[in-house]
Amino acid sequence: MKYILLFFVVALICLMPGCSHHDLLPDPSKVQNITLYDKSVSTIKHYIAGKWKLNYRTGGLSGHDRTDYDSTYFEFQFQTRDIFIRIDTGKVTINTPITWDNSYPSANGSPNVVMTWPLNPIQLDFYASAIKDWDLILTEPCSDCYSYYLSRIKQ
């Protein structure tokens, strides 16, 4: 009985103004594996916020093409204010607002939440597929495109 009462007290506190569901989500830096493509925008933003280093991409027409980014440093920063910053070898090359669009269908027909950035000169759109083995996977929304693997930069 006391556990039921405790549950209702916690639920009541979280329904008060100023309490968001992010208070209930785990620390994103401690999450090794999570599927993101089927989550809400606020949940995706919670898990991808921060700085990430681009390691490699896979996919393409064959589905097995791989490009490693060992010799060039690309840093992706997802700011909590819906700002995306890309740093290429120490120089800011993109600093743009993020627009969240959930009208892109996935392979199984359900919508993916796609990040678009209007001030991006290369015009790549991504959706956050997952965090797998600590790597953030960003995927282009097309059938023969690439998935990009990024590792979180320790703050």
pLDDT for 9 equals: 43
| Mean pLDDT within 32-41 | 89
Strand segments, DSSP code E, in the chain are: 34-35, 50-59, 65-68, 74-79, 83-88, 91-97, 99-105, 111-116, 126-132, 135-139, 146-152
28: confidence class by pLDDT, cuts 50, 70, 90: confident
Neighbours of 149 (CB within 10 A): 22
Question: Is 9 part of a structural domain of the chain?
Answer: no
pLDDT for 11 equals: 46
**Number of structural domains found in the chain:** 1
Question: Is 12 part of a structural domain of the chain?
Answer: no
Instruction: State the chain's mean pLDDT as an integer.
Output: 80
| Mean pLDDT within 76-87 | 90
Question: Is 4 part of a structural domain of the chain?
Answer: no
Give the contacts of 38 (CB within 8 A, at least 6 positions apart). 110
Q: Please indicate, yes or no, whether the overall pTM of this predicted structure exceeds 0.75.
A: yes
| Cα separation, 116 vs 127, whole angstroms | 9
14 pLDDT above the threshold of 50: no
Residue-wise pLDDT for 107-138, tens only, equals 555 556 888 776 666 667 888 999 999 999 99
- Full residue range of the structural domain in which residue 104 is found: 26-152
Question: Is 55 part of a structural domain of the chain?
Answer: yes
Question: Is 89 part of a structural domain of the chain?
Answer: yes
pLDDT for 107 equals: 59
Question: Is 91 part of a structural domain of the chain?
Answer: yes
| Mean pLDDT within 138-154 | 89
Higher-pLDDT residue of 23, 83: 83
Question: Is 3 part of a structural domain of the chain?
Answer: no
Residue 84 is part of a domain; what is its CATH number?
2.40.128
Question: Is 18 part of a structural domain of the chain?
Answer: no
15 pLDDT above the threshold of 80: no
